Chain A
Amino acid sequence: MSVLLFTLIVLLGAFLAGLLGSLTGLGGGVIIIPLLTLALGVDIHYAIGASIVSVIATSSGSAAAYVKEGITNIRIGMFLEIATTIGAICGAIVAVYLNANYIAILFGCILIFSAIMTLKKKVDHTTLDDTDKWARFFKLNGSYPDKGINRSYSVKHVPGGFLMMLFAGTLSGLLGIGSGALKVIAMDNIMRLPFKVSTTTSNFMMGVTAAASAVVYLHRGQIDPGIAMPVCIGVLTGATVGSKVLVKAKTDKLKMVFAIVVTFLALQMIYKGISGL
């Protein structure tokens, strides 16, 4: 395939990945990696390197908007970034030495898990019980604006959330994705944060987490400009368009269809991985 044709195909695919990723909340990385590996035969190491760059671009772009609105809890974000960056670097280092087939299998499993998570109904666990001594020590309890009212919230189970973030960071570094689904579990279910705060804070953390593993990838030659260029431009453009449409669109049905497509892709990656062993 010529470079020009390859660039155009990846650009279009990345645009769609970014668009669907932002509409469904799954993120662009989990779609662009199967596309590159299954459809274009790109080695998963290059696909991961390109994807992590697009994660930095989209998360920094949308974090910019959320931070200005004052919903993001910067203290929680920075505190948990200690865990995600350590995890990300460990994951990225392991990824370099790991056989592409194992990465593909693991990726498929995480993909299915993420698809299930987007379909699950969210239960609000918000609490005002501020007795967690870790939350007090690190000043994690906060408030956020919601329809003109300032809502307070308290944070629970800080060590548990921290451990889960270590795991989320490792997967992010290993697979080149934002691992938003895991971050949201850590913050919603374990630490009891309100949805708005957890999603925006998770997004805020993604940039630094991805940057930590991107540094490792860059030095190992996993970030190839020929792939990373169309991927990051396409995903960012798609995600930007998606966030503009998101306010109007009904996403429930879309999520369902999308979860099925993603599961199909995931099974194919697992199959390809196993048969390549």
Chain B
Amino acid sequence: MDTAKKENLNDKDIQVILGTLLRAGVIISMAIVLIGGAIFLIHNKGAITDYKVFKPEVGKLSSILAIFKGVTSFQGDAIVQFGILMLIFTPIARIVFAIFSFLIERDYLYVLIGFIILAIITISLNGGIAH
């Protein structure tokens, strides 16, 4: 009974931290997107949009390295892309946190499941870079 209660409390703590992590990730990345968006609009408001045909070769902000480069030179679109990158990493950070919390609970089956999900995402990340 006592141990069960303790475990329950543990689960509750994990849920609260997990919720906070997700919310913080969304708020921070959206704030970055907003700032980048404002800078982008100030510099490009008069430019003409062209999204009629998908041109994969034009996507200059399509690697993490290119995004970081753009951010350091204060380009609005690169800052937006950096915010989006942070947003993409929010659920991934959630998996990392879940792995730790299952490790504390000694639920090794779910530690393994967490690593499998991370591995799947990492493979896709590498696949994209290789391209």
Residues of A within 8 A of B (CB): 1-4, 6-7, 40-46, 53, 56-57, 60-61, 63-65, 67-68, 70, 72, 74-75, 78-79, 81-82, 85-86, 89, 92-93, 96, 100, 138-139, 207-208, 210-212, 214-216, 218-230, 232-233, 236
Partner of B48, one of A3, A53, A60: A3
Interface residues of B in 82-119 (CB under 8 A from A): 84-85, 87-92, 94-95, 98, 107, 109-110, 113-114, 116-117
Contact sample, A vs B, 6 pairs, CB 8 Å cutoff: A89-B123, A138-B109, A211-B89, A214-B88, A225-B40, A228-B81
Q: Is the CB of A233 within 8 A of B37?
A: yes
Distance from B111 Cβ to chain A, minimum over Cβ atoms (Å): 10
Residue numbers in A under 8 Å from B53 (CB-CB): 43
Q: Say whether B37 contacts A220, CB under 8 Å.
A: no
Collect the chain A residues with CB atoms within 8 Å of residue B22's CB. 60-61, 63-64, 67, 207
Q: Which residues of B contact A (CB under 8 A)?
A: 11-12, 15-16, 18-20, 22-23, 25-26, 29-30, 33-34, 36-37, 40-41, 44-49, 51-63, 76-78, 80-81, 84-85, 87-92, 94-95, 98, 107, 109-110, 113-114, 116-117, 120-121, 123-125, 127-129, 131
CB < 8 Å: which of A56, A220, A223, A230 contacts B81?
A: A223
Please tell me if the beta carbons of B128 and A218 are within 8 angstroms of each other in the complex: yes
Residue of A nearest to B51 (CB): A42
Asked whether B54 lies within 8 Å of A3 as measured between CB atoms, the reply is: no
In the A-B complex, the 6 residue pairs with the smallest Cβ-Cβ separation, listed nearest first, are A221-B59, A219-B128, A207-B91, A45-B54, A225-B80, A68-B19
Contacts of B46 in A (CB 8 A): 2-4
State in angstroms the CA–CA spacing of A216 and B116 once bound together. 18
**Is A4 within 8 A of B116, CB to CB?**
no
Contacts of A216 in B (CB 8 A): 124, 127-128
- With contact pairs A56-B91, A82-B113, A220-B131 given, residues A68 and B15 touching in the complex (Cβ less than 8 Å): yes
Across the two chains, which residue of chain A brings its CB closest to B80? A225
Contacts of B120 in A (CB 8 A): 82, 85-86, 89, 212
Residues from chain A with a CB closer than 8 A to the CB of B58 are 221
